[in-house]
Structure 1
Amino acid sequence: MRVRTDINFIKSYCEDYGYELITTEYKNQKQKLELRCPKSHLYSVTFNNFKRGDRCTTCSGKGSGFTKLDVQEWFSDRKCELVTKEYMHQKQLLDYLCKCGTPMKNTMQRLRNFSKDPYCLKCRRSDAKNQRRDDANELLSKIWF
């Protein structure tokens, strides 16, 4: 017969790794526990996931990692303008203007993980055309000069 895990065991287990358990009541293994990491970041995780090695999402870099300022800077570095006023998380649909002014929508997660750039199709084609032209000019300059 299996022994039920109690809150005191979980608390001491977390403290062994330098984490502080904020949750005061434990119901079952699917419950998310509120923890404070050694660097004082708050995050939630199930006890099984904590035992498996899942730690603070901020410290490990697994969380969104983007603040409103980071997102604005990411778009401005690519000559785009973020129209969305409030940024909450990486799966939020963002409104922004492409560098040519075309209104676009996408999530930060898709832009960061699956897309090379936040540009519209017209700008992508133009950039690809210019890149091919630059590559051809470089190749021709090596051959003829």
Structure 2
Amino acid sequence: MEVMQGLTKKLDYDEVKSYIESIGLMLLSEDYVNALTPLSCLCHCGNHFTISLNNIKKGRRCPKCSAQRLSEKNRLSFETVKNIFSSQGYLLFSEYINSRKKVKFVCPNGHIGEITLSNFKRGSRCYQCLKEMRFYSKREN
């Protein structure tokens, strides 16, 4: 939006379309009202979303791509996850994808199992060990 001697010039549809395409989005809306009115856009990832020109100018873009970038930024490395498991005596032997996908492990007693990183961090451990502990505690009573 251009400012001329204290006055704000309203952009026309072609200027808005050109600007939106210059940042890698496709404008699907057929008219432009003002900078606060939501516009229908299509991202290169195929996501269809609505956003105002003001929000685009503030740096906001496709919510799907933004969520993916955030997820990649916050993703733990395999080495970090392996160290979390090994600090408790567990050996991790499968690929780590994210905290909600199960990974395969060998517990300190040699059992093979699967667990999510989220559950492991909350204190869950080897299911087989838990079953054995319950079995032996019942036998002692």
TM-score, normalised to structure 2, is: 0.43
* Greater C-alpha Rg: 2
